[in-house]
Amino acid sequence: MSAHKRLFMICFGVGLMTSLSAEEAQLNFDTQWQKAEDLRLRAALIGYEWRDTEKILRRSREEYEAGNKAQALSLLSQGYAQSDAALAQATREEDGWKRRVIE
């Protein structure tokens, strides 16, 4: 899935959550948060996780539980984007590193 589609899904999710009941919103947040976390773990598994992603997602969860939903969603979006970009970096570097080898 392209980065644009993922971003769209997050925005869609965020938009949807604002018009949902509390239970539905919680469920939606959990789903989106888990998606971001799964991406982070995939990046970590191949040694490409970025430094602050885990912290950002953890803070997102904390803000949500404290009732600061706008801040939580902003952080979630940031964490998702970082995980996605880290995976894209890993894919790019699978061959990209070869261009830098000293000859």
Partner 1 sequence: MCLRIFSVIFMCCFLSCAVWADPASDQTAFKNYFYKKFPEIPVGDFINGVYAIDQTRRQQWLEIEEFPPYDIAIDEGEILFNETVFSDGSSYSDCFVDGKRSKKNYPYFDVNRNTVVTLELAINDCRVSHGEQPLKYKTGDIAKISAYLALHSRGEIIEVEVSGEAAINAYEQGKKYYYSKRGQLNFACVDCHVASSGMRIRAEILSPSLGHVSNFPVYRFKWGSIGTLHRRFSGCNSQVRAKPLAGQSEQYKNLEYFLSYMSNGLKFNGPSTRR
Residues lying near partner 1 in the complex (CB under 8 A)? 44, 47-54, 82, 85, 89, 92-93, 96-98, 100-103
Grouping H, G, I as helix, E, B as strand and the rest as coil, residue 13 is: helix
Q: HSE of 54 in the Cβ direction (CA atoms, 13 Å)?
A: 8
Give dist(CA 43, CA 52) in Å, integer: 13
Least CB distance from residue 102 to partner 1, whole Å?
5
> Closer CB to partner 1, residue 49 or residue 63?
49
Least CB distance from residue 31 to partner 1, whole Å?
25
Least CB distance from residue 27 to partner 1, whole Å?
29
